């Protein structure tokens, strides 16, 4: 493998609100006018938009619904396609006049077109990447200005729910005529050790003037405590109407390395100073120092430590919030993943939000940053293939330039399951995209996710990428390692098992295709023909230790692709509505609301070391008295003892007493009844009462879990994810979980009654959910049903000095409960 795969990289990070930004960046997200539908001359200055809705960006119009089988269940059964218009009126302040003004959109879904004061600025078909337009020539200095944005996403343009509209943030950038270019810094390193790291800084200086300007570039490196680590100065000539590149190098002595467990962050503060001493621009780049290395024989090393990918694929929607980006909602998702033992995220199958990358950097998650789900050959009628020839190079280069300073990113993915795998000369496209990655960032390898095992090798696509990803080919790891010993390989997409939280069907371990209740059992054995339970990936990775690890499909459920109901993945032009009302996926070990399914704990038992124990199923089986119920325990302890109503049913040793699960999938030649070393199983004749598991290490008790046969639900238990949230900007959220409880305090795991929420005080209602893939209650409804004993409400803090939010839940026959959450100003200004 080429030398650049033995990589030493450094990046600089600090705790500012945005990863890389100028001090001239201004929040431009409030008070937009929105209209859903066609508008004649919607860009016109004279258009009267007083009756349009006022919205705050980020905004996703489609999550407002309705859910309907008029729309494609493959995309969540939501109206994401059509036409929408956004307009914003603004007047420059005195400090903004005579400045250079640009507008930056972090993402518009999709086919956006933008005007300023009636002047056309441009279009961007791809909804997942940001872009910037120069407003300066068309601005009115003393009068009102009007930005107009037309969005026109098409039906059959996505294989999942993409959202619709201005779903990521917008910024107004106010600069002098000489500034750091958009995404204009790049920091990389070599010879990185714990003793020293050599850092190379690249700064692009953009001069909008006609004349040349003599400027000084001051680069200052600051650690997380605000201490200056290094300061460098350089004079240069910024040529008129050009962008020049200035480079500097230095050493950091005893750098604090960025890692999964200790994600140390720095910042680079770049100042552009005129010859008169005026600071013309200040640009801040957060980053961290780390060393990555990929090898074919041993695997992936982070700072010299062998590290397996315990990874998940994540779509970009945020469950009940839709696709509109919210930092706290994104943070909560990633925190839940890290709790499961996840150390890596694949941004399937598109460039992620800025917030997702920032949080991965901050909490220590590796990232596989992915560009495309489709190249020139179509998967769906109106997919990216329509614009691939014109836009692929711009989009891929922009993704890398935008994201290259994030230390969490370790690979660039050029595509997922692309149809060019079956084409004889498809390798040429892969080669071109891989070359672009090397040109933009020679410090990281590129990769792709191949699902056509034979074709990707036969047609030489796998030969073009630095790291080879295979989707659902665990049973082929040994063969591909034998045939291609120099390849570096990982599972780019694995498992694809499906389940509904808290659902267990009888007969209990039957591998059915569909069930009449439109749910899937949580015994975690059901999936499409290509998929397999997590046990099999664990097993094959153990048998093939040089494989880098896996990215399971998917960390969270998401709107769309309700497999096994309604359709089949990659079905060209197909609506998935034959099993309506199913409209969201079953793939996640965590449901749409962030509630953990049983599978969460199966992964946790393999991916974490802190003692844990989980027992399933629930213990309410009236009518099954005396019938054997499969009971499983997931643990990272050495052994577990099971008790029924105080009577021991025996101890079982993990890895020795193997739990039998049914297995059948493509390329698998092993037994149907697979003896899993990762699950402990007892077949217990049902009698109501108490089921208790106790876990042991070295003969000492390290965990206990009890499941009781519950009675009728009597009250509601409310739990907030945080008791204090920020009131700084009106964007912080609190997630409150409601659980149905019986008179004895037991969780009512089969309760599906009504619940209604109210939000009062210094906050507003945002959304609800219950994780049911077949529910048609919209997230903007305050009334819904419990799903297997649980429901969720989300509230937003009002912007201001702070106060309290009161969240109340009530339901028929249930005692009403209220929880109070504090909101406080937390002063999140850049240090």
Reading the block at residue 789, the tokens are 């004993």
CA distance 345 to 368: 6
CA distance 677 to 248: 54
| Residue 393, C-beta contacts closer than 8 angstroms, at least 6 positions apart | 436
Count Cβ atoms below 10 Å from residue 450 Cβ, excluding itself: 26
| DSSP conformation letters of 754-800 | EEEEEEEESEEEEEEE---TT----TT-SEEE-BTTEEEEEEEEPSS
Round to whole Å and give the CA distance between 778 and 769: 8
Distance, in Å, from the CA atom of 214 to the CA atom of 237, rounded to the nearest integer, reads 5
**Residue 244 corresponds to which tokens in the numbers above?**
């020049």
CA–CA distances in Å: residue 163 to residues 171, 560, 566: 20, 11, 20
Biggest alpha carbon distance in the chain?
A: 89
Sequence-separated (6 or more) residues with CB below 8 Å from residue 691: 615, 619, 631, 642, 643, 644, 684, 706, 707, 708
Is cis: bond before 695, omega within 30 of 0?
A: no
Percent helix, strand and coil across the chain, each rounded to 5? 15, 40, 45
Closest CA to 300 of 415, 469, 471, 537: 469
Q: Using alpha carbons, select from 493, 452, 466, 342 the residue that is nearest to residue 412.
A: 466
Angle at 796 between CA 791 and CA 802, to 5 degrees: 130
User: Is 239 labeled as catalytic in the residue annotation?
Assistant: no
Catalytic residue among 493, 561, 638, 731: 493
- Least Cα distance to 168 among 367, 327, 26 occurs for 327
Beta bridge partners of 145: 90
By DSSP bridging, strand 196-207 and strand 243-253 are antiparallel
Helix, strand, or coil (residue 223): strand
Separation CA 256–CA 621 (nearest Å): 55
Cβ pair 551, 312 in contact under 8 A: yes
Sign of the C-alpha dihedral computed for residues 104, 107, 109 and 111 taken in this order: positive
Catalytic member of 355, 417, 537, 641? 417
- Are 502 and 593 spatial neighbours (Cβ–Cβ below 8 Å)? no
Strand order from edge to edge, sheet including 690-697: 647-653, 639-644, 690-697, 700-708
Per the annotation, the verdict on 493 as an active-site residue is yes
**Catalytic residue ranges:** 417, 493
């Amino acid at each position: 493998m080429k030398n650049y795969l033995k990589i030493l990289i450094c990046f600089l990070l600090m705790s500012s609100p945005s990863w890389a930004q100028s001090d001239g960046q201004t929040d431009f997200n409030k008070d937009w006018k929105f209209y859903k539908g066609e508008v004649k001359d919607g860009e016109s200055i004279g258009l009267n938009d007083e009756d349009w809705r006022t919205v705050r960006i980020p905004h996703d119009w489609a999550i407002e619904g309705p859910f309907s089988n008029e729309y494609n269940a493959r995309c969540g059964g939501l109206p994401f396609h059509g036409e929408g218009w956004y307009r914003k009126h603004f007047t420059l302040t005195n400090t903004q006049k005579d400045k250079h003004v640009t507008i930056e959109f972090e993402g518009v879904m999709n086919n956006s077109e933008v005007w300023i004061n009636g002047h056309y600025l441009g279009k961007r078909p791809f909804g997942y990447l940001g872009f910037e337009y120069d407003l300066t020539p068309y601005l009115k200095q003393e009068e009102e200005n009007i930005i107009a944005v037309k969005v026109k996403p098409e039906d059959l343009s996505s294989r999942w729910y993409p959202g619709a509209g201005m779903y990521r943030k917008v910024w107004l950038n106010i600069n002098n005529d000489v500034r750091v270019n958009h995404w204009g810094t790049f920091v990389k390193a070599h010879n990185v050790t714990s003793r020293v790291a050599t850092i190379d800084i690249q700064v692009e200086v953009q001069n909008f003037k006609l004349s040349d300007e003599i400027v000084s570039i001051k680069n200052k490196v600051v650690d997380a405590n605000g201490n200056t680590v290094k300061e460098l100065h350089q004079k240069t000539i910024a040529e008129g109407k050009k962008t020049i590149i200035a480079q500097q190098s230095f050493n950091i002595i005893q750098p604090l390395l960025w890692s999964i467990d200790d994600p140390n962050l720095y910042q680079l503060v770049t100042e552009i100073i005129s010859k008169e001493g005026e600071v013309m621009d200040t640009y801040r780049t957060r980053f961290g120092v780390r060393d990555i290395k990929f090898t074919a024989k041993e695997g992936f090393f982070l700072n010299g430590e062998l590290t397996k990918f315990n990874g998940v694929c994540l779509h970009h929607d945020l469950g009940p919030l839709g696709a509109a980006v919210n930092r706290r909602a994104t943070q909560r998702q990633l925190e839940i993943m890290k709790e499961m033992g996840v150390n890596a995220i694949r941004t399937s199958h598109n460039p992620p939000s800025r917030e997702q990358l920032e949080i991965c950097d901050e909490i220590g998650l590796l990232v596989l940053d992915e560009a495309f789900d489709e190249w020139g050959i179509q998967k769906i009628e109106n997919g990216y293939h329509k614009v691939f020839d014109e836009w692929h190079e711009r989009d891929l280069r922009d993704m890398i330039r935008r994201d290259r300073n994030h230390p969490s990113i370790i690979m660039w993915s050029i595509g997922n399951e692309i149809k060019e795998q079956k084409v004889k000369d498809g390798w040429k496209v892969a080669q071109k995209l891989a070359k672009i990655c090397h040109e933009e960032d020679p410090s990281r390898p590129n990769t792709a996710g191949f699902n056509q095992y034979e074709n990707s090798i036969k047609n030489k696509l796998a030969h073009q990428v630095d790291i080879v990803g295979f989707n659902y080919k665990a049973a082929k790891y040994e063969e591909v390692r034998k045939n291609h010993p120099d390849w570096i390989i990982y599972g780019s997409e694995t498992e694809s098992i499906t389940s509904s939280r808290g659902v267990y069907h009888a007969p209990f371990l039957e591998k059915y295709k569909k069930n009449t209740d439109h749910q899937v059992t949580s015994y975690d054995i059901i999936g499409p023909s290509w998929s397999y339970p997590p046990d099999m990936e664990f097993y094959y990775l153990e048998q093939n230790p040089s494989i880098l690890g896996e990215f399971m499909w998917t960390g969270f459920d998401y709107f769309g692709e309700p497999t096994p109901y309604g359709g089949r993945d990659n079905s060209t032009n197909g609506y998935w509505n034959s099993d309506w009302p199913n409209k969201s996926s079953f793939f996640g070990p965590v449901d749409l609301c962030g509630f953990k399914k049983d599978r969460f704990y199966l992964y946790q038992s393999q991916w974490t070391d802190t003692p844990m124990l989980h027992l399933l199923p629930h213990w309410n089986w009236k009518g099954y008295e005396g019938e054997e119920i499969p009971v499983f325990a997931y643990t990272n302890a050495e052994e577990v003892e099971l008790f029924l109503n105080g009577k021991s049913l025996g101890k079982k040793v993990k890895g020795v007493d193997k739990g039998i699960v049914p297995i059948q999938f493509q390329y698998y030649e092993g037994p149907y009844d697979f003896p899993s070393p990762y699950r402990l199983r007892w077949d217990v004749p049902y009698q109501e009462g108490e089921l208790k598991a106790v876990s042991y290490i070295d003969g000492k008790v390290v965990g206990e879990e009890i499941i009781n046969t519950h009675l009728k639900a009597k009250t509601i238990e409310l739990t907030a994810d945080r008791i204090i949230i920020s009131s700084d900007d009106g964007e912080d959220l609190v997630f409150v979980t409601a659980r149905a409880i019986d008179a004895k305090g037991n969780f009512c795991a089969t309760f599906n009654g009504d619940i209604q929420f109210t939000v009062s005080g210094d906050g507003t209602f945002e959304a609800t959910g219950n994780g049911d893939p077949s529910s048609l209650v919209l997230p903007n409804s305050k009334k819904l049903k419990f799903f297997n004993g649980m429901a969720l409400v989300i509230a937003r803090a009002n912007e201001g000095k702070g106060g309290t939010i009161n969240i109340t839940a009530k339901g028929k026959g249930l005692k009403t409960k209220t929880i109070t959450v504090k909101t406080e100003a937390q002063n999140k200004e850049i240090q």
